[in-house]
Structure 1
Amino acid sequence: MKTERVVLRGVDRNKVVVDGEFRRGNGITVTGAQSVVENLTVRNHLVNGVLFTGVTDSQLQARGAGGAGYSPLDTAKFPPLKGFRASYVTAHNNALYGIYAFDAKDGVIENSYASGHADSGIYVGQCRPCSTVVRHNTVEHNAVGLEVTNASENLYFLANTVHRNRVGVTANSNDLEALGPQHAAVFTGNRITDNNDDQGPEQAEGGFGIGVGVGGGLRNTFERNLVTGNRSAGIVLQDLQGYPVRDNVVRGNRVHGNGVDLVLNAAGSAGNCFAGNAERTVSPAGLTGAGGCGAAPERALAAKGRGAGVRVPPGVSFRSAPKPAAQPQAPGAPNRPALPAVGLPGKVRVEDVPLPG
């Protein structure tokens, strides 16, 4: 979809299917600004389900638009796609990503479902400021449920259900993409539970049983999330690929019943704060006493925290991961007015998003 302001809508979310038959690369590629994909299913592709991107080079798109296809992408040559929306999309059993926003901004991903992906169900990468909201989605049976890499500023993940993946949420910095380090994303009101899945593809770094992993991220906020039932660790902050993890706020969450609830693994970390998370276990010991949110800044802490040791089961091929049940239709589909992705994401009221029960 290269034309701007296109609304691609299925008349029935579960019967209108873009099927790659395990032969084609991307299902739907959107490079036209302010365009929309809604109320349909995208499955069985060898790269991505739905790709929103400013990358217009077809060879790079064929490699997935991100990752090893460049080192890193030339952001001047490929300015970000401005304006996009995915609503009531089902993406399952695609090789890499289900719904993939890369080099794109001013968008919304909402009320969608993603499962059976060997990288992640929903991915937001390489944008600053992103000005994007990811809300009310369900991700399961993926290597990673929600993934954020070098995506920063005005980026919100709100009220998503992230369960039965191998890893629930990651927020990472790296040098494969431009615009590092990753910083200033907000995660609020998400249900991040039981990410110990033995029916999904293997995570590339072998991660398993982790609710939230922050690798080299800065100034992110995790607040009013439910994080429970993850066998290795609930929330892990660690340095990654030369990027220190600093100044993240982990506050007012309900983090309990994980292998270890809170983990900091960083060489000389400073500025991260943990407060009011209802945790019972932390690593290293005394972590939450290193400086709470609103108190004096955390002292430099040579932390070597670890999650609980777990047996990592073998993964399955994305082709054979569980197929989803029928998903809810978009309200008013197929006859509601076609609205392009203009003026998104609109006003974001994080304060109205509750802690899940």
Structure 2
Amino acid sequence: MRSYYSLLYLAALLWLSSCSPAPQEAAPGEIATDLYQTLQEQLITAEPGSVVEIPAGTFEFDRPLSLDGIPNVTIRGAGIDATVLSFRYQKTGAEGLRVTADSVTLEGFTILDTKGDAIKLQDCNGITIRNVKTSWRGGADESNGGYGLYPVSSRDVLIENCEASYASDAGIYVGQCTNVVVRNCYAHENVAGIEIENCTHAEVYSNRSEQNTGGILIFDLPELPAGNGRDCKVHDNDIIENNHANFAPEGNIVGIVPPGTGIILLAAKKVEVYNNRIIGHKTIGTAVASYYITENPWEDKNYDPYSYDIRIHGNTYERKRAMPDLSKDFGKMVNYLFPGKPQDILYDGIVDDTRSGSNPMNLCIDQPGSDLRFANVDAANDFEEVQQDVSAYTCAPKG
């Protein structure tokens, strides 16, 4: 009989504990010190396979969370709009969440108003970011953090079903990584919606990038530990009306991007752009350029500044009826050469003199319809022989 009542008593305790109230939301301006300490202690003491749960609610933190070195940890909120971590009163650090650990999963929460990048993951092998949102509630401002989601120097990166807005560089940025997938995400009102930089083997598909300055950027830059990225597929994305004013801080490379840009391939190698809807841009639908177009010097002896092995096919282009942007040199160039006429595909025409043939950089364009606006602007020769006939670059995509 005693054992029977003991079991009832134990069951009652377990029921009561399961019904205990969730942590209360912080009042405006109140720092959720207890919750922060609890979460950070769990991240410090986590073991492989641990799940660190963040409850539902909106919580103010004044310092970053961090996970360092412990593999196979999941950080999980109650839902992308249910768990909100605000850093508007941040006093120390820059990121909202910083991770240096392998096989990490982040899912189901929002991070707002960080002093620097919202979420940075560095030197990780195996990253999954799912159903996560980042933003700055003050809107477009050069003082906002540079990146929303920011994996760098990592391998096997998956970003899916995420949202990023108002980053002063890129909402979703993946840099110096290998084996990258970005899919089913929504990037809006950033300088760059999605940026893949110095990466090898990347695929960007089924995303919506709209109302940024530039929709999707594939860049390869000098003076970085991992250079000469290659092999990227950009397909089946909605790249819509990326005409936002450029609010990047002075000196930032994305500061060159003119409002009204769909896609830029800068010093990109082996990139395929296909089946995208590139709609409503007032300057350029897709630009293909070498790093020389930036007129920035570099000292990296191993850097390859050219774009080549580029295939553009099967995309839908619909231009915005507007004057090309005049706030950036690139936009001024477009309007100077084509007054009042946004271009669908623009190629700087800068080639590697060591290559030969009529199409030495292997730029292949197979776009349906007769209304395509294409131009090779011959930038290496001060725009002396602008060519608008795309036939020299027409070739069927490889199967």
**Common topology (TM > 0.5):** yes
Tell me, in whole angstroms, the C-alpha distance in 1 between the residues paired with 2:248 and 2:198: 23
Match 2:172 to one of 82, 106, 122:
122
Aligned identity (percent) is: 21
| Contact kept in structure 1, 2:247 and 2:255, CA below 8 Å | no
State the SS of the aligned residue for 2:198: strand
1:210 shift after superposition: 0.5
* Corresponding residue number in structure 1 for 2:131: 88
Name which of 273, 290, 296 aligns with 1:222: 273
Larger Rg: 2
Q: CA deviation at 1:133?
A: 0.8
Contact 2:94 2:117 in 1 (8 A): yes
Measured in 2, the distance between the counterparts of 1:226 and 1:166 equals: 17
Once the two structures are TM-superposed, the CA of residue 43 in structure 1 deviates from its matched residue by 1.2
Query: Alpha carbons of 1:176 and 1:19: their partners in 2 closer, same or farther (altered >3 Å)?
Result: farther
Q: How do 1:249-260 and structure 2 match up within 5 A? A: 249-258=311-320, 259-260=342-343
Cα distance in structure 1, aligned partners of 2:266 and 2:368: 20
Q: Which one of the candidate residues 4, 18, 25 is aligned to 2:85?
A: 18
Distance in 1 separating the partners of 2:218 and 2:158: 18
Alignment equivalent of 2:229, drawn from 174, 182, 186? 182
Q: Is the 8 A contact 1:141 1:199 kept in 2?
A: no
TM-score (norm 1): 0.71
Whether the aligned pair in 2 keeps the contact of 1:196 and 1:209 (CA below 8 Å) is yes
State yes or no: 1:159 paired with 2:206.
yes
Instruction: Please list the CA deviations of residues 124-157 of structure 1 after superposition, one character each: whole Å capped at 9, or x if unmatched.
Output: 1112xx112100000000000011111112x110
Contact 1:236 1:262 in 2 (8 A): yes
What does residue 281 of structure 1 align with?
Answer: 373
Report if aligned partners of 1:184, 1:220 keep a CA contact under 8 Å in 2.
yes
AA aligned to 2:77 is: G
SS at match of 1:290: helix
Residue by residue over 1:303-356, the C-alpha shift from the partner in whole angstroms, topping out at 9 and shown as x without a partner, is: xxxxxxxxxxxxxxxxxxxxxxxxxxxxxxxxxxxxxxxxxxxxxxxx9xxxxx
Unaligned 5+ segments in structure 1 are 55-80, 298-350, 352-357
Tell which deviates more after alignment, 193-202 or 213-222. Answer: 193-202
Q: CA deviation at 1:22?
A: 5.4
Amino acid across the alignment from 1:6: V
Match of 2:260 among 201, 204, 209: 209
User: Which residue is equivalent to 1:7?
Assistant: 74
Aligned mates of 1:216, 1:200 — CA distance in 2: 23
SS in 2 for 1:289: helix
Q: Distance in 2 between matches of 1:167 and 1:149?
A: 14
- 2:114 maps to 45
**Following superposition of structure 1 onto structure 2, how do residues 1-357 of structure 1 map, counting pairs within 5 Å?**
1-2=67-68, 3-21=70-88, 23=90, 24-54=93-123, 81-93=124-136, 94-127=144-177, 130-153=178-201, 155-198=202-245, 203-241=254-292, 243-258=305-320, 259-268=342-351, 270-278=361-369, 280-284=372-376, 285-294=387-396
Q: TM-score, normalised by structure 2?
A: 0.64
**Contact 1:245 1:266 (C-alpha < 8 Å) held by counterparts:** no
Q: Contact 1:83–1:107 at 8 Å: present in 2 too?
A: yes
Relative distance call for 1:204 and 1:85 in structure 2 (3 A) is same
CA contact 2:87–2:113 (8 Å) conserved in 1: yes
Alpha carbons 1:145, 1:165 under 8 Å: kept: yes
Give the total of aligned pairs. 268
* Secondary structure at the counterpart of residue 390 of structure 2: helix
The letter of the residue matching 2:278 is V
Query: What CA distance in whole angstroms lies between the structure 2 residues aligned with 1:18 and 1:32?
Result: 21
SS in structure 2 opposite 1:267?
Answer: coil
> In the aligned structure 2, how far is the partner of 1:277 from the partner of 1:200?
35
CA distance in 2 between partners of 1:152 and 1:22 (Å): 37
Higher relative helix content: 2
Contact 2:246 2:255 (C-alpha < 8 Å) held by counterparts: no
Aligned residues: CA RMSD = 2.1
Distance 2:166 2:184 in 1: 19
Instruction: Give the Cα separation in 2 of the matches to 1:85 and 1:249.
Output: 29
CA contact (8 A) 1:134 1:157 kept: yes
1:183 Cα deviation after fit: 1.3
Deviation, structure 1 residue 37: 0.8
Report the AA paired with residue 261 of structure 1: D
Q: Which residue of 2 aligns with 1:304?
A: none
Runs of at least 5 residues in structure 2 that lack an aligned partner in the other structure: 1-66, 137-143, 293-303, 321-341, 352-359, 377-386
Check 1:213–1:82 CA distance in 2 against 1; reply closer, same or farther (3 A cut): same
Cα distance in 2 for partners of 1:145, 1:95 equals 14
1:70 is matched with which residue?
Answer: none
Contact 2:246 2:258 in 1 (8 A): no
Answer yes or no: is the 8 Å Cα contact 1:90–1:113 preserved in 2. yes
Alignment partners' CA distance in 2, 1:291 and 1:261: 14
Give secondary structure in 1 for the equivalent of 2:287.
Answer: strand
